[in-house]
Structure 1
Amino acid sequence: MALAVGAALVASGINAVVPTLSALLVAILLGVLVANTVRLPPAIHPGLAVASKHVLRLGIVLLGLQVSLQAIAGLGVGMVAVVVAVVVGGLVVTEYAGRALGVVPSQRALIGAGFSICGAAAVAAVEGVVEDKAEEDVVTALALVVLFGTLMIPLVPLSAGAFGLDGPTAGAWAGGSIHEVAQVVAAGGIIGGAALQTAVVVKLARVLMLAPVVMWFGWRSRRAGAGPMAGRPPLMPLFVAGFLAAVALRSTGLVPVELLEVLKIAQTLLLAAAMFALGCGVRFATLRGVGGRPFALATVTTVAVAAIALAGVLLVF
């Protein structure tokens, strides 16, 4: 646990010096670097397991405090419909394209959630309710989120300029198509002007979709599961209920702004510690063994999500 927290502090420090580098992204990369260059003693693994599950879920609960229902409602019915279309469309495309490519169901679910909702946090959240998953399914989905989300940071602003999109439209497209919240912030900052605020609010609307999507996968796993009901994933995991409660609390306006800022720092540290622990599970030898099919699926899903988001914002703006 101390190792994970130390890595989170290092990642946050790097983010403070270079704001375009997400603390979560840096933490994952640090974990990958450590896993592939240092032989960690067995005593380290139980603490990393706690960080990758329990600490992660606490971070997701606190993430709900960044989502205001009023801000999302301010997007208008049209943009909210676009967000729903992006998430649902991304999941559907991933499912059918994954079947055609021969990607296993658990990996389809993890890639679809990560690319359609909010990146690594969504992968880890859905991992808790998806059955018959292998360790390489999770680490591959995480690696793909980092790779493709990072590539989207320069591609979306460049493409928005080529398409002649104005600031708010380009920001809405960035928020609707890029995987991680921090990656959206980086792209919105590159676009400049009013794009950043629009991008963040649209992205947070996608984050809110985490709850129903996790519940959907939980229900699907329970329906398909064999054996006693007690051994199946919960329909609504406790951390999802906590996430929704945090969203409701933030939306009341009762939490002081100063406290929200402190909790945002805590949320970043918790998620960064969890991302480091998850990154420690990513080994290059494992990734080489998964083949090219998940990478092909990630490409298809990225293009599909970006296309749905672009079509939607062009209709709304």
Structure 2
Amino acid sequence: MTQTLHRPTEPAEGGDRQSRVRTFVPGLLVCGAVALAATGINMALPAVSPLLLAIVIGAVVANVVHLPTATAPGLTFASKTLLRIGVALLGLQLVLGDVLGLGFGMILVVVAIVFGGIFGGLMIGKALGIPLARRLLIACGMSICGAAAVAAVDGVIEADDEDTATAVGTVVIFGTLMIPAVPLLASAMGLSDKMAGMWAGGSIHEVAQVVAAGGMIGGGALTVAVVVKLARVMMLAPVVTVLSIRQRKMTGDAGKRPPIVPLFVVGFIACAVLRSTGVLPSFVISIGHEAQVVLLTIAMAALGLGVRMEVMRKVGWRPFVQAAITTVLVAGIALGGVLLAG
């Protein structure tokens, strides 16, 4: 009798891919639930950004409910991959002509805000003894575009989850405090609505926070505030590219080096250029905007779910001092620049 030998069955490539995708499901379901809750509250209270709500709700859930380890892959996928796609689509909000319409002087002010804020934030963090990755994430979050900048820079320098969570937490706290502070101070100083809007756009961390502050100021402040803020968002591309080049020089293993220009930055620039050419139909821009909001809300939920009180207590008070001083520094540069440009 001849004995037939059976080789062990190897999993098909497609099945292996499906298995990897299934590992994302638990975490994505949790992020989706948080994002839906944030969207529901936003529908009842339109003035409150769903992105900020997603971070706050996620942080509350993370500190009240014990999330199973099965959610980790999905949370990582949302906070990295989905966020990068959302940041790329953020370019569809940019019309380069609007930014150029600010004038050469105001564009120089925006450059000074971003690079002055990053450099000053790094020096402040260094004086406080904060590790480089953590102080860099905080400085970029305060100077460019909040949590999206934190996550984008994290994708290049590969900081610890503890560093990312700390930076996101400081962005939420101090950016939210700036929403009422800027309109009140602008009114006390007698700034015009336009100058107050420029100051809000130049000093407040998140786009959504800028929208809230610009709405409080009233008049023509909201439009100019958003344009100035989007000019700061544009600076994300060169900053991430510079950091990526720096990381490549510091990394000996070529296989682990980040690309010189990360793919999501290329996507961001491409979307901004396409929007600026005027070739995109309005419905495509509208769909892109909705997709960007959905993806970033889910990503912000994932970032919020990574903010835990024990981590905040562990890192201590120093990152919050850096964030507070950097916030004041950025606001000071913005105010001085607006007064000079105005």
**Which interval holds the TM-score relative to the shorter structure?**
over 0.9
Q: How far did residue 221 of structure 1 move? A: 1.4
Higher CA-based Rg: 2
> Distance between the aligned counterparts of 1:66 and 1:96, measured in 2?
32
Q: How far did residue 67 of structure 1 move? A: 0.8
Gaps of 5+ in 1: none
Q: How far did residue 6 of structure 1 move? A: 2.8
Q: How far did residue 33 of structure 1 move? A: 1.1
State, as a whole percentage, how many aligned pairs show the same letter. 57
What are the within-5 Å matches in structure 2 for residues 251-290 of structure 1?
A: 251-290=276-315
Q: How far did residue 48 of structure 1 move? A: 1.3
Q: How far did residue 288 of structure 1 move? A: 0.4
The one of 26, 49, 55 equivalent to 1:22 is 49
What are the within-5 Å matches in structure 2 for residues 177-256 of structure 1?
A: 177-225=203-251, 227-256=252-281
Q: 3-state SS of the aligned residue for 1:234? A: coil
Give the RMSD, CA atoms, in angstroms: 1.0
Moved more, 116-125 or 3-12: 3-12
Who is 1:82 aligned against?
Answer: 109
Who is 2:331 aligned against?
Answer: 306
The one of 156, 163, 178 equivalent to 2:182 is 156
Amino acid at match of 1:5: G
Moved more, 258-267 or 307-316: 258-267
Encode CA deviations 1:12-46: one digit per residue, 9 max, x unaligned. Answer: 22122212211111001111111111111222221
1:169 pairs with 2:195:
yes
Compute the TM-score of the two structures, normalised by the length of structure 1: 0.97
Q: 3-state SS of the aligned residue for 2:156? A: coil
> Distance between the aligned counterparts of 2:253 and 2:31, measured in 1?
36
Q: How far did residue 265 of structure 1 move? A: 1.5
Structure 1 residue runs of 4 or more that deviate by more than 6 Å after TM superposition: none
1:4 pairs with 2:9:
no
The one of 58, 66, 73 equivalent to 1:39 is 66
> Distance between the aligned counterparts of 2:147 and 2:307, measured in 1?
13
Q: How far did residue 77 of structure 1 move? A: 0.5
Amino acid at match of 1:258: F
Who is 2:128 aligned against?
Answer: 101
How many residues align structurally? 315
Gaps of 5+ in 2: 1-27
Who is 2:20 aligned against?
Answer: none
1:316 pairs with 2:341:
yes
Q: How far did residue 260 of structure 1 move? A: 1.5
Q: How far did residue 89 of structure 1 move? A: 0.4
Amino acid at match of 1:150: T
Q: How far did residue 231 of structure 1 move? A: 1.2
Q: Which has the higher contact order (CA 8 A, sep 6+)?
A: 1
> Distance between the aligned counterparts of 1:5 and 1:35, measured in 2?
14
Encode CA deviations 1:243-294: one digit per residue, 9 max, x unaligned. Answer: 1111111111111223222221211110010011111111101100101110
Who is 2:137 aligned against?
Answer: 110
> Distance between the aligned counterparts of 2:118 and 2:192, measured in 1?
28
Q: 3-state SS of the aligned residue for 1:157? A: helix
Asked whether the 8 Å contact 1:143–1:282 carries over to 2, the reply is yes
